C-alpha cells in the first residue's frame, strides 16, 4: 500500500489535473462565479430586518449546495477522471447531513481557536475530511466527525504539511492576477481528496 505523503498527494493532483485541465478550470470557474452570484444575491435582498434574514438563509443554502457539488465532482474526478462531468456539480443530497456536519466542524474549530489557537489547528486537521465523508458515505454529522478522526489519526503532521502546501499554492494562484486560482484550487482540492482516499484505504487495511 502506498504510504500517505503530502508531496505525493500534490503530485497526484497535478498529474490528474493535466489529464483534463480545461474541465478542472471550467468547474472551478463555475464555482467561483457561483460564489460571487450567491453573495451578490444575498446582498441584494437587503441588509436589515427580515430581508437580511432571508438573505442569510439563501446564502447558506446555496453556498452549501455549491460546496456539495464541488466535493462530489472532485471525488468523481479523482476516482475516474475521464468520467467526471460538469453535471456532477448538481449533488443536492444529503443536504441536511452536509450542512449539519459543516456547522459542527465550524463550532468545534471555533472553540479550539478560542482555546489558544493550537486546539483549533488540531481540530481542522482532525476533521479535514468531513465534507468528503458525508458526500462519499452519506454519514450523519457525528458519524462523519468520528470517521474523519479515525482515518487522520497518526497522520496529522503530514496533513498539516499538506494544508500549508495548499495554502501556499492558492496564495501564489491569487498573486497571479487571480487567474492562477483556476489551477491552484482544483489541484489543491484533488490533493486533499487523494489524501482522503489514501488514508481511508490505510485505515481499512489496519
How confident is residue 205, by pLDDT bands cut at 50, 70 and 90?
confident
Tell me what the pLDDT averaged over the chain comes to.
Answer: 92
What pLDDT does residue 201 have?
92
Mean of pLDDT values over 66-94: 96
Lowest mean pLDDT among 26-40, 125-139, 156-170: 26-40
Q: Three cell numbers at 18?
A: 493535466
Q: Looking at per-residue confidence, does 46 or 175 come out higher?
A: 175
Residue 116 per-residue DSSP state? T
What pLDDT does residue 1 have?
62
What pLDDT does residue 44 have?
76
Cβ–Cβ < 8 Å for 148, 123: no
Sequence spans of domains, the chain: 6-205
Mean of pLDDT values over 177-205: 92
Gap between the terminal Cα atoms of the chain: 11
What pLDDT does residue 9 have?
96
What pLDDT does residue 85 have?
95
Mean of pLDDT values over 155-182: 92
Q: Does residue 2 carry a pLDDT above 70? A: no
Lowest mean pLDDT among 135-144, 172-181, 196-205: 172-181
Mean of pLDDT values over 75-86: 96
Q: Which of 143, 164, 140, 155 is nearest to 200 (CA)?
A: 155
What pLDDT does residue 46 have?
63
What pLDDT does residue 83 have?
95
C-alpha–C-alpha distance, residues 143 and 116, integer Å: 27
Cβ–Cβ < 8 Å for 174, 180: yes
pTM for this model (two decimals): 0.92
Q: What is the pLDDT of residues 101-155, one digit of tens each?
A: 999 999 999 998 887 788 889 999 999 999 999 999 999 999 999 999 999 999 9
Q: Which of 196, 104, 179 is nearest to 141 (CA)?
A: 104
Amino acid at each position: 500500500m502506498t504510504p500517505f505523503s503530502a508531496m505525493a498527494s500534490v503530485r497526484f493532483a497535478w498529474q490528474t489535473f493535466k489529464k483534463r485541465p480545461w474541465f478542472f478550470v471550467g468547474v472551478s470557474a463555475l464555482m467561483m462565479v457561483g460564489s460571487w452570484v450567491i453573495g451578490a444575491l444575498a446582498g441584494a435582498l437587503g441588509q436589515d430586518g427580515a430581508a437580511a434574514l432571508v438573505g442569510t438563509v439563501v446564502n447558506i443554502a446555496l453556498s452549501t449546495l455549491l460546496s456539495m457539488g464541488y466535493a462530489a465532482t472532485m471525488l468523481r474526478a479523482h476516482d475516474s477522471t475521464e468520467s467526471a462531468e460538469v453535471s456532477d456539480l448538481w449533488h443536492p443530497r444529503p443536504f441536511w447531513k452536509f450542512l449539519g456536519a459543516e456547522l459542527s466542524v465550524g463550532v468545534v474549530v471555533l472553540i479550539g481557536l478560542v482555546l489558544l489557537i493550537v486546539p483549533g489547528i488540531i481540530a481542522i486537521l482532525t476533521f479535514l475530511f468531513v465534507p468528503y465523508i458525508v458526500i462519499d458515505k452519506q454519514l450523519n454529522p457525528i458519524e462523519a466527525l468520528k470517521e474523519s478522526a479515525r482515518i487522520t489519526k497518526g497522520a496529522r503532521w503530514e496533513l498539516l504539511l499538506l494544508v500549508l502546501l495548499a495554502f501556499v499554492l492558492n496564495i501564489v494562484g491569487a498573486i497571479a492576477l487571480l487567474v492562477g486560482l483556476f489551477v491552484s484550487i482544483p489541484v489543491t482540492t484533488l490533493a486533499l481528496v487523494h489524501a482522503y482516499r489514501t488514508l481511508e484505504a490505510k485505515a481499512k487495511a489496519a
